[in-house]
Amino acid sequence: MNLFEKLLNKQEKLSVVGLGYVGMPVAVSFARKIDVIGFDVNVEKINQYKEGIDPTNEVGNEKIKETSVFFTCNENDIKKAKFHIVAVPTPINSDKTPNLGPVEGASRTIGRNLTKGSIVVYESTVYPGVTEDICIPILERESGLKCGVDFKVGYSPERINPGDRVHRLENIKKIVSAIDNESLETIANVYELIIEAGVHRASSIKVAEAAKVVENSQRDINIAFMNELSMVFDKMGIDTVEVIEAMNTKWNALGFYPGLVGGHCIGVDPYYFIYEAEKLGYHSQIILSGRKINDAMGAFVGDAIIKKLVIANKQVKQAKVVILGLTFKENTPDTRNSKVIDIIRRLEEYEIKPVIVDPQADAETAKREYGIELVDMKEAEDADCVVFAVAHNEFKSLSIKDIDNLFKNCNNEQKVLIDVKSILNKNDIEELGYQYWRL
């Protein structure tokens, strides 16, 4: 009986190391089929899961309460599993170089608790070569076992889109890879238990690693192109959205829009590719240029706010700017690498301390990570400027009257409305006489 069959018969267990936006949905989904151990070093997070609370909002409180996942922060429990999935974050350092600390730490933890006959699969985004050149040696050193003989290793990049209720874990095709064909088939069979869209067997681990960083880099570049156009069109007095709507009438238009590119994937993964390319002596041109453009968009929006405040005859230093949204994208509490922060920092250069409203974001995380105090919508009144920075459903449902109630009692010509996500009807807003700007 092979490992896959033992998992099905519940003679062996699967562990998920790292229970965030990626690991939690994976653990809960597998728990419907097999026995799962969910491990995370964050004691507070584990306690929340045990209480049936999902801070990620990816699977919801009800499913957390119902799941059979065994939640633990005791690494010794990992010994009870034979199939391990690593789903820890892979952020970047302040100098934009890869921070492999979490994935190295997870490798040490698993290595200390690795048993013969196990399979370890990495889902964390890395540049090509990390799994085999960095992670496997750690596993071998910590366990005293030999990869390929005592245990096997694979790589299956995560493709979860936080906050997306359409493209879910189960209906996104899964890339799988491994050090040999035998373990590749086992890994593919295991993932096929939960991935309805099926799996794609990559020819090598490096191919699978590269596919992940490239698919996000491609999206990053396309958005960067639209962002560059939006900056130029702004100088020309041309509405970018109207240009895109016209362009999209052609069958082969790609349909990308300008925007703030943050988060743990698109805003990070290209730097992993750039880092490894430069180690090999190749200086990225297109990918790095795209990153520079996208990293500058927060400041660009900040400057647009200042310009509109001046046009509205507002005293910039004394202006009250209300920013709706802090998370890196809509309908998720995830604030990692949010580019809304860049707008805030730009305004602070003009001695403006904006008021931030975000009903989705975690207030404690916002305070800890960014030093930002989130406020309730009721505290966002008497604004000189309102910025729609994130397209949360709560903000999209606001009526014109709701929006107007956020402003000071003055003529509409003195009310500045910044629509970063282009969620408002431009004609309706401009007919009312607001100082309106959209990206």
- Three-class HEC string of the chain: CCHHHHHHCCCCEEEEECCCCCHHHHHHHHCCCCCEEEECCCHHHHHHHHCCCCCCCCCCHHHHHHCCCEEECCHHHHHHEEEEEECCCCCECCCCCECCHHHHHHHHHHHHCCCCCEEEEECCCCCCCHHHHHHHHHHHHHHCCCECCCEEEEECCCCCCCCCCCCCHHHCCEEEEECCHHHHHHHHHHHHCCCCCCEEECCCHHHHHHHHHHHHHHHHHHHHHHHHHHHHHHHHCCCHHHHHHHHCCCCCCCCCCCCCCCCCCCCCHHHHHHHHHHHCCCCCCHHHHHHHHHHCHHHHHHHHHHHHHHHCCCCHHHCCEEEECCCCCCCCCCCCCCCHHHHHHHHHHCCCCCEEECCCCCHHHHHHHHCCCECCHHHHCCECEEEECCCCHHHHCCCHHHHHCCECCCCHHHCEEEECCCCCCHHHHHHCCCEEEEC
| pLDDT tops 90 at residue 362 | no
User: Do 196 and 224 belong to one domain?
Assistant: no
Which residue matches tokens 């003195």? 414
Model pLDDT, residue 136: 98
Crossing angle, helix 297-311 and helix 340-349, to 10 degrees?
50
Looking at the structure of the chain, the number of domains it has is: 3
pLDDT class of 397 with cuts at 50, 70, 90: very high
Here the tokens at position 201 are 């067997």
User: Do 247 and 147 belong to one domain?
Assistant: no
pLDDT class of 168 with cuts at 50, 70, 90: confident
Active-site entry in 73, 135, 147, 265: 265
pLDDT class of 269 with cuts at 50, 70, 90: confident
Q: Out of 133-147, 177-191, 367-381, pick the least confident.
A: 367-381
- CA–CA distance, 368 with 326 (Å, rounded to integer): 14
pLDDT class of 1 with cuts at 50, 70, 90: confident
User: Do 283 and 168 belong to one domain?
Assistant: no
Q: What are the pLDDT digits (tens) for 190-239? A: 999 999 999 999 999 999 999 999 999 999 999 999 999 999 999 999 99
Model pLDDT, residue 386: 97
Model pLDDT, residue 385: 97
- CA–CA distance, 17 with 77 (Å, rounded to integer): 11
CB 224 within 8 A of CB 294: yes
Give the pairing type, strands 174-178 and 151-155. antiparallel
From 149, 176, 203, give the residue that closes a domain.
203
Beta-carbon count within 10 A of 133 CB: 10
For the segment 269-286, the average pLDDT, to the nearest whole number, is: 90
Name the average pLDDT for the chain. Answer: 93
Q: What are the pLDDT digits (tens) for 68-112? A: 999 999 999 999 999 999 999 998 888 888 999 999 999 999 999
User: Do 126 and 261 belong to one domain?
Assistant: no
Which residue matches tokens 């009986």? 1
Model pLDDT, residue 263: 79
User: Do 269 and 185 belong to one domain?
Assistant: no
Model pLDDT, residue 418: 97
For the segment 138-165, the average pLDDT, to the nearest whole number, is: 91
| pLDDT tops 80 at residue 164 | no
265 in catalytic set: yes
User: Do 356 and 346 belong to one domain?
Assistant: yes
Give the pairing type, strands 385-388 and 321-324. parallel
Q: Out of 196-200, 275-279, 300-304, 399-403, pick the least confident.
A: 275-279
Q: Could you tell me how many residues make up the chain?
A: 439
From 203, 226, 256, give the residue that closes a domain.
203
Judge residue 302's burial from the number of C-beta atoms within 10 Å of its C-beta, 0-12 exposed, 13-18 middle, 19 or more buried. buried
User: Do 153 and 243 belong to one domain?
Assistant: no
From 253, 271, 295, give the residue that closes a domain.
295
Model pLDDT, residue 198: 94
For the segment 342-364, the average pLDDT, to the nearest whole number, is: 94
**CATH code assigned at 262:** 1.10.1040.10
For the segment 266-292, the average pLDDT, to the nearest whole number, is: 90
Model pLDDT, residue 82: 97
**Structural domain boundaries enclosing 151:** 3-203
Listed ranges 45-59, 118-132, 366-380; the one with the highest mean pLDDT: 118-132
User: Do 85 and 231 belong to one domain?
Assistant: no
| Closest of 151, 106, 126 to residue 210, by C-alpha | 126
| pLDDT tops 80 at residue 156 | yes
User: Do 133 and 195 belong to one domain?
Assistant: yes
Here the tokens at position 215 are 């698919």
For the segment 310-338, the average pLDDT, to the nearest whole number, is: 92
Which residue matches tokens 């996500």? 421
For the segment 364-368, the average pLDDT, to the nearest whole number, is: 89
For the segment 162-182, the average pLDDT, to the nearest whole number, is: 86
User: Do 18 and 135 belong to one domain?
Assistant: yes
**CATH code assigned at 75:** 3.40.50.720
pLDDT class of 378 with cuts at 50, 70, 90: confident
Model pLDDT, residue 163: 67
User: Do 197 and 243 belong to one domain?
Assistant: no
User: Do 171 and 248 belong to one domain?
Assistant: no
| pLDDT tops 70 at residue 126 | yes
